[in-house]
Amino acid sequence: MLSCFKKNIYICYRIIHNCIFMKLQLSFANLATSFKESVTDWRWWSSIGQIVFGCFLVAVAFVVFINPYNMVPGGIYGLALVLHNLFPSIQVGTFGYMFDVPLILTALILFGGTFGGRTIFASFITPGIMNILDYLVYPSQEAIEALDPQLLLGGQIDLSSHLMLAAIIGGCFSGVGVGLVIRNNAATGGTDITGMLLHRFAKMKFANGVLLSDAIIVFSGLLVIGFGVGIEGPGEGVMLSLYSAVCIFVNAKVLGYTIDGASRDKLLYIICENHSDAMRDYILKDLDRGGTYLKAKGMYTGNEKEMIFLVVSRKEVRKVQQKIKEFDPHSFVVVTDAYDTFGQGFKPFPQEDGMPTE
C-alpha cells in the first residue's frame, strides 16, 4: 500500500516536473528566436540602451538617495532594504535577486511568451548595477552594511538634514528610470510581476495588485525601520514613513509624466447648431485630423443635433477653439485629457507582450 502511494506521488512529481521544464524550454526558445530577429535592428539597440539607462537611474535613486536614509518606497527594492536592516551583511541588490529570480521563473511558467525578454533583462541588471554602485560610492564593506550617508562619496552627498530633498530627488530619478523602462515594453520586475499574478488569479486590477504589494512592503518598513521591530536599537520613527510617502508620490507623478510625455492629447466634444463645410474642411485639411459625428439631442429643447468627437494635440487646442468661435460663436465645447490615443497620427498600438496597465 505504501509503495503504491509512493509510486503515485513519484508519477505526479514527474508529470509536474516535465510540464514545468517543457514550459520553460518553450519560453526560452521563444525568447531566443525573438532575440535573433531583433538584434539586427538598430531600433532594438536604441531600445535596449534606454532600458539600461533607465535601470541605471533606478539604481542611482536607491543607492544614493533612498537606501542611505532608510526610506521604503515600496517595490522589491524597498522590501530588500527592510531585509538589509535585519541582515546587514547581505546587500540590497542581492536581496533583489533573491526575490526577482523566483518571481521571473514563476512568470515564465505561467505567462510563457507573453512575458517579455526585455523585462527579464531589466530585472536582472538593475540589482547588479545597485551592487556595483554600492562598491563605488562607499569606501568599505562595513560602510555598505551600515549604509551611512556620511560615508557616501566621502560625505559629499549627505542629505541627512534634508530628507525632503532626498525623497524628492530619489522619487524623480526612480520615476524617470522606471518610465524609460516601461516605455520600451519592459518592467523592472518585482511588484509588477506580483501585480500580474494577482491580476490573473485574484481577478484584481493590475494597478491595484501593485498598490497592495507596495502597501504591504511600506507597512513592513514602518514596523522594522520605523518602530525597530527585529533590529538593534530604537526605530527611526513614523516621520521616516512620511518621507517615504513623499518619495512614492513624486515617483508616481514623474513616472506618469515620463510614460505619457510632456504633451498629452486633448479630446474635444463640439456641439454646434450648424456644422458648416468650413469647419469640416478645417479639421480634415488644415489640421489633417479625422473626426466623428455623433448623434445628440438637447435635453432642454429636445432638438436633434450632431456632436463632433475630435482628438488633437495640446498645442492645437487653442487654434481649434479660435476656429470654432469663428465658425459658430454660439457653439458649446468640452475639452478633456486623452491619456492614451492609438491609431493613425497618434501612438502605435501596444505590443501583445506589453505589461497590463489595469
Q: Are 69 and 146 in contact (CB under 8 A)?
A: no
Q: pLDDT of 134-178, one tens digit each?
A: 999 998 888 888 888 888 888 888 888 888 999 999 999 998 998
**Interaxial angle between packed helices 206-221 and 239-260, expressed in degrees from 0 to 180 and rounded to the nearest 10:** 150
**Interaxial angle between packed helices 117-137 and 42-60, expressed in degrees from 0 to 180 and rounded to the nearest 10:** 40
Q: pLDDT of 69-126, one tens digit each?
A: 888 888 888 888 888 888 888 888 889 888 888 888 777 777 665 556 777 888 889 9
Query: Looking up cell 465658425, which residue turns up?
Result: 327
Residue 2 scores a pLDDT above 50: no
Q: Which three cell numbers stand for residue 307?
A: 456632436
Q: Which residues pair with 297 in a beta bridge?
A: 304
Q: Which three cell numbers stand for residue 34?
A: 525573438
Q: State percent of the chain over pLDDT 70.
A: 76
Within 10 angstroms of residue 175's Cβ, the number of other Cβ atoms is 24
Q: Which three cell numbers stand for residue 254?
A: 514623474
Q: Are 96 and 130 in contact (CB under 8 A)?
A: yes
Q: Which DSSP category does 150 fall into?
A: G
Measure the CA–CA gap between 186 and 180, rounded to whole angstroms: 9
- pLDDT-derived band at 281, boundaries 50, 70, 90: confident
- Residue ranges of the domains in the chain? 41-260, 265-338
Among 138, 19, 139, CA closest to 67: 138
Q: Which three cell numbers stand for residue 354?
A: 506589453
Could you name the CATH architecture of 265-338? 2-Layer Sandwich (3.30)
Q: Which residues pair with 342 in a beta bridge?
A: 347
Q: Which of 12-21, 139-148, 174-183 has the lowest mean pLDDT?
A: 12-21
Q: Are 210 and 355 in contact (CB under 8 A)?
A: no
Residue length, the chain? 358
